[in-house]
């Protein structure tokens, strides 16, 4: 994993929220929330909350008596989430998922949507989630399936090879779409202290946008893929975005686009 893979800063948080959240994350926020509504909860922790798409869904859905603590490694993402706000109070806090600043056994649920892939030590992050969970609590997280099952990301990764043929950016395949093997996930959970069988649901959704430019901007400018492009040649960011948009248009047409996305949702009982 590159040092830039976890860098969500500068203009990335705003573009991420504007373009990537509706494109990728809103459908799965509903799945995450649905898995929690039937549970008896008092305190919930969200790690790698990003700009708060799941946080807002939880605040809208869960009983007002459930306290929600939302954390992220990147303060810029938390700042964007707080700016957007929630319908009821949420305790926002900058925190590293590998060293959570909370006592043992205080949360009824820990949730993480599409953040696990960025953790440099997955087993350590899982052990921290296990540590702060009460006995009988639940850990629910989602990860993307392999990049070939996620059409826009796959097309963009291939398209950028023409911009940087000697050193193509591989962020998407390496990190957000690089932690999809279910046996590896189960092994890391066991190493992190979870011993009950994992429930892993593979869930496909649709990613829709009004034009091919939307997913191109979302990925090339609203994710750490931007960091990889700019490391190679910052002057080529707009060119790379345009080439990505053209590749999506060639596949889906110049108007509204509709691509497949697919993820694993993992449920672990403590």
Is residue 196 within 8 Å of 259, Cβ to Cβ?
Answer: no
When pLDDT is averaged across residues 157-162 and rounded to a whole number, the result is 98
Distance CA 104, CA 154 (A): 40
Q: What is the pLDDT of residue 2?
A: 58
In terms of Cβ atoms closer than 10 Å to its own Cβ (0-12, 13-18, 19+), residue 16 is buried
pLDDT digits (tens, 9 = 90+) for 211-270: 999 999 999 999 999 999 999 999 999 999 999 999 999 999 999 999 999 999 999 999
Q: What is the pLDDT of residue 7?
A: 63
pTM above 0.85, yes or no: yes
pLDDT digits (tens, 9 = 90+) for 86-136: 999 999 999 999 999 999 999 999 999 999 999 999 999 999 999 999 999
Domain ranges of the chain: 3-269
The residue behind tokens 């070939």 is 148
The domain 3-269 having CATH identifier 3.40.50.2020: the answer here is no
Q: What is the pLDDT of residue 17?
A: 95
Angle of CA points 263, 135, 92, to nearest 5°: 60
Angle of CA points 187, 113, 99, to nearest 5°: 65
Per DSSP, what are the bridge partners of residue 112? 141
pLDDT digits (tens, 9 = 90+) for 4-57: 655 676 778 999 999 999 999 999 999 999 999 989 999 999 999 999 999 999
Q: What is the pLDDT of residue 38?
A: 87
């Amino acid at each position: 994993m590159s040092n830039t893979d976890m860098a969500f800063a500068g203009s990335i948080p705003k573009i991420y929220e504007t373009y990537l959240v509706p494109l990728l994350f809103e459908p799965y926020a509903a799945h995450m929330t649905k898995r929690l509504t039937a549970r008896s909860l008092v305190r919930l922790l969200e790690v790698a909350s990003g700009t708060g798409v799941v946080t807002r869904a939880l605040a809208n859905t869960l009983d007002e008596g459930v306290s929600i603590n939302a954390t992220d490694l990147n303060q810029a993402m938390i700042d964007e989430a707080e700016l957007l706000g929630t319908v009821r109070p949420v305790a926002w806090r900058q925190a590293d998922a590998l060293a959570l600043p909370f006592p043992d056994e205080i949360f009824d649920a820990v949730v993480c949507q599409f953040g696990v892939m960025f953790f440099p030590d997955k087993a350590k992050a899982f052990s921290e989630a296990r540590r702060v969970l009460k006995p009988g609590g639940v850990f629910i997280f989602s990860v993307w399936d392999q990049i070939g099952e996620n059409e826009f990301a796959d097309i963009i990764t291939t398209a950028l090879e023409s911009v940087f043929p000697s050193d193509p950016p591989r962020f998407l395949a390496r990190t957000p779409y690089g932690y999809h093997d279910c046996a590896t996930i189960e092994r890391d959970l066991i190493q992190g202290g979870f011993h009950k069988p994992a429930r892993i649901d593979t869930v496909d959704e649709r990613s829709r946008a009004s034009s091919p430019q939307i997913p191109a901007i979302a990925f090339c400018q609203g994710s750490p893929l931007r960091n990889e492009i700019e490391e190679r040649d910052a002057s080529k960011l707009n060119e790379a975005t345009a080439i990505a948009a053209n590749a999506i248009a060639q596949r889906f047409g110049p108007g509204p686009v509709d691509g497949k996305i697919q993820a694993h949702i993992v449920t672990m009982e403590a």
